[in-house]
Structure 1
Amino acid sequence: MFKNQINKLFTFLIFIIAFSCKENRNIKVSEIDDITTQQEVQSLIRKNFKNLSQYEVKSIQSFKRHDFGCQTNVKLADELGVKESFYKADFDNNGYSDLLVIGDNHTCFESQNQSCSYTPLVILNLGNKKYRIANISQNFDDYFVPKISEKNGQILLEINKAKIENWKEKIVSKDIKKQVLALKYGAFIEYNTNAQNYIPIQKIEFSTKGCFGTCPIFDLEINNNAEAKFVAKNFNFSDDMEIWSGKNEGIFKTKIKKEDFDSLIKTLEYIDFPELEDYYSVDWTDDQTVDLKIIYSNGKIKNISDYGASGTYGLIRVYEILFDLRKNQNWIKID
Structure 2
Amino acid sequence: MKKLTLIFVIIFSNVAFGNKIDELKTDKDVEDFIKTVAPKFIKKVWKDFDYGNFRIVPTDSIYTNLKCQKIFNQSDINNWKKVDINNDGLTDLLFIPHYYGYSQYAIIDQGSNNFKLTRFIIDFAICEYVKPIKVKDKNELQIRKVNLPFDFDDNIEKYIKIDTLTYKFNSFIELNDKVIIDNKIKSIEVKTDYCYGTCPVFKLTINKNGLAEFDGIEFTKFRGKSINQFDPKNVAEIFDLLNYIEIKKLKDYYEVNYTDASTATLHIIFEDGSIKKIKDYGLSGTYGLSALYSKLTKLATETEWK
Q: TM-score range by the shorter chain?
A: 0.7 to 0.9
Counterpart in the other structure of 1:84: 78
Counterpart in the other structure of 2:272: 298
Q: How does 1:186-201 map to 2 (within 5 A)?
A: 186-194=170-178, 196-201=180-185
CA distance in 2, matches of 1:235, 1:191: 34
Residues 51, 311 of structure 1: alpha-carbon distance in 2 compared, 3 angstrom cutoff: same
Counterpart in the other structure of 1:103: 97
Residues 85, 280 of structure 1: alpha-carbon distance in 2 compared, 3 angstrom cutoff: same
Instruction: Give, as a single letter, the amino acid of the residue that structure 2 aligns with 1:229.
Output: E
1:38 aligns with 2:27: yes
Moved more, 223-232 or 258-267: 258-267
8 Å contact 1:135–1:188 — kept in the other structure? no
Residues 142, 213 of structure 1: alpha-carbon distance in 2 compared, 3 angstrom cutoff: farther
CA distance in 1, matches of 2:163, 2:281: 21
Q: For structure 2, list consecutive stretches of 5 or more residues without a partner in the other structure.
A: 1-16, 43-52
Output the TM-score relative to the length of structure 1: 0.75
Instruction: Give, as a single letter, the amino acid of the residue that structure 2 aligns with 1:62.
Output: S
CA distance in 2, matches of 1:328, 1:30: 31
8 Å contact 2:122–2:145 — kept in the other structure? no
8 Å contact 2:104–2:122 — kept in the other structure? no
CA distance in 2, matches of 1:266, 1:163: 27
CA distance in 2, matches of 1:294, 1:169: 35
Q: For structure 1, list consecutive stretches of 5 or more residues without a partner in the other structure.
A: 1-27, 107-116, 239-248
CA distance in 1, matches of 2:79, 2:193: 39
8 Å contact 1:192–1:271 — kept in the other structure? yes
CA distance in 1, matches of 2:205, 2:20: 44
Q: How does 1:112-151 map to 2 (within 5 A)?
A: 117-137=101-121, 143-151=127-135
Task: Calculate percent identity across the aligned residue pairs.
Answer: 29
SS of 1:93's equivalent in the other structure is coil
Aligned mate of 2:39, from 50, 55, 61? 50
The structure with the largest alpha-carbon Rg is 1
SS of 2:73's equivalent in the other structure is helix
- Corresponding residue pairs, total: 279
What is the Cα deviation at residue 143 of structure 1? 4.5
Counterpart in the other structure of 1:94: 88
Output the TM-score relative to the length of structure 2: 0.82
Counterpart in the other structure of 2:256: 282
Residues 195, 189 of structure 1: alpha-carbon distance in 2 compared, 3 angstrom cutoff: farther
SS of 1:91's equivalent in the other structure is coil
CA distance in 2, matches of 1:296, 1:95: 38
Instruction: Give, as a single letter, the amino acid of the residue that structure 2 aligns with 1:237.
Output: K
1:158 aligns with 2:139: no
What is the Cα deviation at residue 262 of structure 1? 1.9
What is the Cα deviation at residue 173 of structure 1? 2.9
What is the Cα deviation at residue 125 of structure 1? 1.1
What is the Cα deviation at residue 43 of structure 1? 0.9
What is the Cα deviation at residue 251 of structure 1? 0.6
SS of 1:62's equivalent in the other structure is helix
8 Å contact 1:281–1:307 — kept in the other structure? yes
CA distance in 2, matches of 1:281, 1:157: 24
